[in-house]
């Protein structure tokens, strides 16, 4: 992958907070020729085809941006892409000459994002922090905190603004 072939991961769930993290990664980290890898997780119980069952352990193949932009392709994975996210990705790919791919995992986002760091492997990861209230964070556990603690590459947490 050459010198500039860094693999920058961004955890994306299509929320405004993850779009903010994505923009931050593109504006502050990504350089021409980098691989921008969008890591998306789905609940484990979602799979109806044998293909999904196979992917549940390994995650999807790396999906090129042209396919990520195609709703028919994405529906095979049970993912409905967000137009704002797609626009940000397509613009970044053109302007910064980034190689943009998506990898989808099924299961606990905390574990699967850490798995992505090791398996892809990623040079760094950017993740949004929705800023849940204390109670919800106690019950659900913060995905970003878990990834910061357990991830094996540098992790940048982009905080959601109060207005989101």
In DSSP notation, 3-28 reads: TT--EEEEE--SSHHHHHHHHHHHHH
Is residue 46 one of the residues assigned to a domain? yes
Judge whether 99 lies within some domain: yes
Domain range enclosing 17: 7-159
Q: In what order do the strands lie in the sheet with 35-42?
A: 63-64, 99-106, 35-42, 7-11, 124-129, 155-159
Taking Cα atoms as reference points, which of 121, 127, 161 lies closest to residue 142? 127
- Asked, for residue 103, whether it belongs to a domain, the answer is yes
Residue 162 has pLDDT above 70, yes or no: no
Do 44 and 106 touch, CB atoms closer than 8 A? yes
Asked if residue 2 is part of any domain, the answer here is: no
Sign of CA dihedral 32, 7, 15, 43: positive
pLDDT band at 129 (very low <50, low <70, confident <90, very high): confident
Q: Tell me: the pLDDT tens digits for 33-51?
A: 999 999 999 887 655 555 5
Q: What is the CATH number of the domain that holds 123?
A: 3.40.50.620
The residue-averaged pLDDT of 59-72 equals 95
Domain presence at residue 65: yes
Domain count, the chain: 1
Please answer whether residues 96 and 27 qualify as being in contact, where contact means their C-beta atoms are separated by less than 8 angstroms.
Answer: no
pLDDT of 27 over the 90 cut? yes
C-beta separation of 144 from 13 below 8 A: no
């Amino acid at each position: 992958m050459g010198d500039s072939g860094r693999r920058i991961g961004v955890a994306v769930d299509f929320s405004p907070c993850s779009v903010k993290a994505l923009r931050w990664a593109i504006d502050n980290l990504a350089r021409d020729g980098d691989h921008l890898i969008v890591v998306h997780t789905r609940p484990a119980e979602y799979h109806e085809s044998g293909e999904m069952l196979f992917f549940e352990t390994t995650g999807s193949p790396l999906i090129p941006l042209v396919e990520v932009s195609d709703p028919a392709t994405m529906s095979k994975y049970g993912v409905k892409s967000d137009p704002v996210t797609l626009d940000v990705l397509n613009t970044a790919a053109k302007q910064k000459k980034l190689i943009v791919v998506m990898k989808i995992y099924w299961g606990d986002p905390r574990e699967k994002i850490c798995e992505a760091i090791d398996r892809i492997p990623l040079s760094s990861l950017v993740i949004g922090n929705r800023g849940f209230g204390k109670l919800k964070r106690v019950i659900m556990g913060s995905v970003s905190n878990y990834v910061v603690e357990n991830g094996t590459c540098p992790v940048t947490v982009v905080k959601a603004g109060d207005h989101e």
